C-alpha cells in the first residue's frame, strides 16, 4: 500500500426474490453497507448501516432468512439518497482511492441502483475485484467465495458471514495476506557477474 492512496473495502448486501418466483421488473437493491477505509495500512474509518430499498421495500422471506436481516431493520435504515450522500463522504481529493470488493456484484448493483434512482455514481476511484486477483494469484479455475478464501489461509472470517461490515473487514484481511504473499514472491534483484565471480582471485589463478 502506498502512502498516497486510500483503500475502501466495501461490501453490500442485496434484496433477493423468493426462490422460483418471478417478480416483474425485479432487480437487487442494496439493504446493508459496510465500509472500511484504510490509509498507510491503518484503518481510519468504518461505516455500517442498513438501507431502505426504493423499488421493492418489502423483503422476501428468502432474503430475510438468508441474510438474517429483518424488515424492521431496513425500514429504519438510511434512505437510498442519504446512503449515497454517505458514500460521497469517502471521496478524498488529496489522495488517490481504490475500492476493493470481493467479486464485481457490489459495484454493478450500486451503479444499477443509482441509475434507477436518477442519482450520479458517488465514487471517483479505481476499482479492484479482489476475488479475481486471488484467483489469478493462486491459479484457481473457479472464483472462490470470500470465507472459503480466508479459510484457505488457515484463518477465520471476521464476525458473521453476510453481514456487510464483517465481510468488508474480512476482505481487508485477505487483501493484507495476498499483498504479503506477493512480496515474498517478488524476485530479488539479479546479481551481476561481478557479484558472482571474484575477479581478483580469478586473475591470480591465471598469473
Active site residues: 13, 162
Q: Angle 164-185/130-138 helices, nearest 10 degrees?
A: 40
Beta-bridged to residue 101, according to DSSP, are 129
Rg, the chain, Cα only: 23
Torsion from C-alpha of 97, 100, 103, 108, nearest 10 degrees? -30
Angle ∠(123,161,139) on CA atoms, nearest 5: 75
Q: Retrieve residue 85's grid coordinates.
A: 450522500
Other Cβ atoms less than 10 A from the Cβ of 195: the count is: 9
Residue 69 makes CB contacts below 8 A (sequence gap 6+) with 13, 31, 32, 50, 59, 63
Amino acid at each position: 500500500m502506498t502512502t498516497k492512496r486510500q483503500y475502501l473495502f466495501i461490501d453490500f448486501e442485496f434484496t433477493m426474490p423468493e426462490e422460483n418466483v418471478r417478480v416483474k421488473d425485479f432487480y437487487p437493491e442494496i439493504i446493508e453497507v459496510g465500509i472500511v477505509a484504510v490509509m498507510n495500512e491503518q484503518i481510519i474509518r468504518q461505516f455500517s448501516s442498513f438501507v431502505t430499498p426504493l423499488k421493492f421495500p418489502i423483503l422476501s422471506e428468502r432474503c430475510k432468512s438468508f441474510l438474517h436481516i429483518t424488515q424492521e431493520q431496513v425500514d429504519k435504515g438510511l434512505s437510498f439518497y442519504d446512503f449515497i450522500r454517505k458514500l460521497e463522504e469517502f471521496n478524498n481529493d488529496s489522495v488517490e482511492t481504490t475500492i476493493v470488493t470481493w467479486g464485481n456484484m457490489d459495484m454493478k448493483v450500486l451503479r444499477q441502483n443509482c441509475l434507477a434512482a436518477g442519482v450520479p455514481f458517488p465514487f471517483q476511484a479505481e476499482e479492484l475485484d479482489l476475488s479475481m486477483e486471488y484467483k489469478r494469484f493462486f491459479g484457481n479455475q473457479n472464483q472462490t467465495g470470500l470465507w472459503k478464501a480466508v479459510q484457505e489461509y488457515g484463518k477465520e472470517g471476521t464476525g458473521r458471514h453476510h453481514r456487510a461490515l464483517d465481510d468488508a473487514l474480512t476482505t481487508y484481511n485477505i487483501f493484507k495476506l495476498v499483498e504479503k504473499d506477493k512480496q515474498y514472491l517478488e524476485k530479488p534483484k539479479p546479481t551481476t557477474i561481478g557479484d558472482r565471480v571474484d575477479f581478483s582471485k580469478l586473475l591470480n589463478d591465471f598469473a
